[in-house]
Amino acid sequence: MHLLINTGGGDAPGLNACIRAVTLSAVRRGFRVTGIRRGYSGLLESGERGLLSLDRDTVRGIADRGGTILGTVSRGQPFEYLSTDGQGRSVVTDMSDRIMTRYRELGADGLIALGGDGSLRIAARFQEKGMRVILVPKTIDNDLGGTEATFGFDSAMSFATDAVCRLHSTAEAHGRVMVIELMGRYAGWLALQAGLAGAAHVILIPEIDFDIDLVCDSVRHRYETNRPFAVVVVAEGAKQKGSDFVVTRRDAGKEPTLGGVGALVAARIQERTGLETRHLVLGHLQRGGSPTAADRLLALRYGGEAVRLAARGQWGRMVSWQPPRMTSLSLNDAVKQRHVVGLEDDAVRTARDFGICFGDG
């Protein structure tokens, strides 16, 4: 059997561990494994330039490395591929037929795609075109439905928790309000869990629209009750009641890049309370670095299950972690599901029990 493997979307700690797991499990079965560089782009390059042959030697010692040895493309879309023409104008082309041709020329039996929600939708479309695909869910956002956890999330959440904890001493020393913006796109998992574990006083997430007056009341109340500092965690996808997401970048044909809501919240708190307020954006630090042991293990187990599915001929599936079992569901079922924070989630209820403010009264 000849397996292809690629990594798509934003990188996440654990990708290399998963590449190693797929390669070792496949090679032991006598399968050949070829990595595609930069998502699907490697299949559009001539010769071997876009490919990397994977064996025991290539994947030795990579399990604890961040990033991906294959490279990746954020928001890369082979069905609506963006490039520039001779005059510097953006052109959108459907590259999927060219990719299918190259896939067949390589004599591939199937593709193991490591990716998030965008990669899942692309995988489902390629499966319809005749490519045999298994998706392994990765993303620091933890927003894929059909699985309990994506790898990459634990590493990002652990790092973000540490960052939130570090803000306490500086906030307290200066008697300031410190606002930190975390990633997560339209899901609040990172902000909720890092905020709760890091003992934030206010947590704003996309699933609960916030009222800035209530946020200010909560901050003011701390100062009035002898706790003169505050740590506020804001998910990049959090939005004020009646307002839209705050967007930092819009590129034609691509999902907008969220960001800026932390600065906005900080400015409003300072204006309305008069309290000295600072803000920071943790940004891509959340995606960098080594995976935690939990993520490494999850990524290895995901990779192992992906190869077992391929060996059994179970294509068109997404590997799914349903503790304590690794299982799978069809790509079409996975595409329909979303994983966002439920208002009755016990982490939300626990935070409320502690008096943490979500800005919703």
* Catalytically active residues, by annotation: 141
Contact flags string 301-340 toward ligand F6P, x per CB under 6 A: ----------------------------------------
**Cα–Cα nearest to 239, from 220, 262, 216, 257:** 262
8-state DSSP, 358: -
Give the shortest CB-238-to-ligand F6P separation in angstroms. 12
Binding segment for ligand F6P (CB under 6 A), chosen from 136-144, 159-167, 204-212, 343-351, is 136-144
Q: Which residue is nearest to ligand F6P (CB)?
A: 183
Give CA–CA dist 102/105, Å, rounded.
5
**Cα–Cα nearest to 348, from 213, 240, 204, 220:** 204
When asked if residue 258 is in the footprint of ligand F6P (CB under 6 A), the reply is yes
Q: Is 144 exposed, middle or buried (0-12, 13-18, 19+ CB in 10 A)?
A: buried
Options 8, 10, 14, 76; binder of ligand F6P; rule CB under 6 A? 10
When asked if residue 185 is in the footprint of ligand F6P (CB under 6 A), the reply is yes
Query: What is 110-174 written as a DSSP string?
Result: EEEEEE-HHHHHHHHHHHHTT--EEEEEB-TT--BTTSS--BTHHHHHHHHHHHHHHHHHHHHHH
When asked if residue 59 is in the footprint of ligand F6P (CB under 6 A), the reply is no
User: Number of C-alpha atoms within 13 angstroms, CB side, residue 228?
Assistant: 7
Options 53, 74, 90, 101; binder of ligand F6P; rule CB under 6 A? 74
Q: Which residue number, 21 or 281, has a Cβ lying nearer to ligand F6P? A: 281
Q: Which residue number, 286 or 328, has a Cβ lying nearer to ligand F6P? A: 286
When asked if residue 144 is in the footprint of ligand F6P (CB under 6 A), the reply is no
Please give the residue ranges that form the binding site for ligand F6P (CB under 6 A). 10, 74, 116, 139-141, 183-185, 236, 257-258, 287
